[in-house]
Amino acid sequence: MGKLDGQNLGKYELVERMAQGGMAEVYKAFQPGIERTVVLKVLHGHLVDNQDIVARFQREARAAGRLQHPHIVRVIDIGVEDDNYFMVMDFLQGGTLGDYLKARGRMPAEAALRLGAQLVDALQSAHAQGVIHRDIKPSNILFADDSFQQVVLTDFGLASLRDDAAHSLTVTGAMVGTPTYMSPEAVRGEACDERSDLYSLGVVLYEMVTGKPPYTANTPYSMLMKQTNDPLPSPRSINPDLPVVVEELLLSLLAKDPAARIQSAALLAQAIHAAQQVLCNQATAVPTPLPSKPARRVDQPAPLRTPVAATASHGMNWRSLLLAVSGIATVAAITAELLLHL
């Protein structure tokens, strides 16, 4: 139970805590005025005296609030009451992609590409407005409902905004991102642009079609070393059923050098669409017919097919064999009878 369960923040009644992270707690809440369920993200109380943290929290609300897109979580409100900083978002019923993968494992390539296309569409909109997410991972991707057909990108707490370039809001000593999904340039502490988001999305897609991320390690440091130094494990070495076209897409998306990577969300959207077309064409391809037998001449008599031969051509069993033998015996008896009367 969260410390705020059953309490009110502004006009919102907090029902239960749904999750807890390093910066905030997430509560399911109810808004009585219009009788709807919402989500409140509440900054931890021990962080409210840190102005950089508070600024980052407010920046998250500003980043998500400027993005109006069906695959980006909608920020409804923001407020503060009794030193509780909170933002209000739509309530989504489907749970996280991370929970889905833990429960069900990998998904078919077609489904992964379909969901990936939705996320790319969201990133294309965000990048066009100067927002780089910087923390794309399965736990920050929600399903809109339990049909698992629509995903929504959430948690812009680490997002960088183009108009924040004049002043850094990064907390000293904090890691910007989650090691498993960080791009190599983020690991090296270099400047990150839209291509870093695409790399992180590539790691998510890799996990969706193989059931595991490309790199695993026991410590954050060893994970970071693998991200920067180890060659990418072939997706088909983990999932041999993965179509080649999907593996090629992942390899181009997960290049360690940003210059060798797919360069924009728009280009990635095109690449995903092309891969989907290949899979669709493969699924609907008509099998090549077997070569036909040479045509029989009209004056050439058809080969005599005895009952036994006819039966054998359709798969023989004891019942058909018995019928075939009895047929031969009948023909023999009739022939003998005719010979006696000649």
- For residue 207, pLDDT beyond 70: yes
Q: For domain 8-90, give the fold.
A: Phosphorylase Kinase; domain 1 (3.30.200)
> Rg of the Cα trace of the chain?
32
- CB atoms closer than 10 angstroms to residue 297: 7
Proportion of the chain above pLDDT 70, given as a percent: 78
- The CATH code of domain 97-164+173-284 reads 1.10.510.10
CA distances to 59, 179, 189 from 174, rounded to whole Å, are 17, 12, 11
pLDDT bin (cut points 50, 70, 90) of residue 289 is low
User: Which candidate in 121, 135, 155, 197 is catalytic?
Assistant: 135
135 is catalytic: yes
Predicted TM-score of the model (pTM) = 0.78
**SS3 (DSSP) at 68:** coil
* Domain residue ranges of the chain, discontinuous segments joined by +: 8-90, 97-164+173-284
Residues near 164 by Cβ (< 8 Å), separated by ≥ 6?
A: 59
pLDDT (mean) for 81-105: 93
pLDDT bin (cut points 50, 70, 90) of residue 2 is low
